[in-house]
């Protein structure tokens, strides 16, 4: 799904960038351009990153438990 229409950035691209270390909205803006146009998507980018961080923490917990 498109998160940033101005720069055609999808949630998949944000998740991939997060896995490579982009963990803030500014980092996502720097590497993908999301949030650098009209700025309306910055909250959606932040929400997507929060979901990524919860998902990453959950995976780490599962690995430690195993």
Confidence of residue 64 (pLDDT cuts 50, 70, 90): low
Q: For the chain, first and last CA: distance in Å?
A: 33
Predicted model pTM: 0.83
Which structural domain, as residue segments, surrounds residue 20? 2-65
- Give the model's confidence band at 53: pLDDT under 50 very low, under 70 low, under 90 confident, else very high: confident
Count: domains in the chain? 1
From the number of C-beta atoms within 10 Å of its C-beta (0-12, 13-18, 19+), residue 16 rates as: middle
What is the per-residue pLDDT across 17-50, written as a single tens digit (0 to 9) for each?
999 999 999 999 999 999 999 999 999 999 999 9
CATH number at residue 20: 1.10.10.1100
Answer yes or no: is pLDDT of 54 > 90: no
Whole-angstrom distance, CA of residue 48 vs CA of residue 8: 15
Give the model's confidence band at 63: pLDDT under 50 very low, under 70 low, under 90 confident, else very high: low
């Amino acid at each position: 799904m498109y998160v940033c229409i101005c720069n055609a950035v999808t949630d998949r691209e944000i998740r991939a960038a997060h896995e490579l270390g982009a963990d803030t909205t500014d980092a996502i803006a720097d590497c993908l351009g999301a949030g650098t146009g009209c700025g309306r998507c910055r909250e959606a980018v932040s929400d997507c990153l929060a979901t990524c961080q919860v998902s990453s923490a959950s995976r780490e917990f599962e690995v430690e438990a195993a």
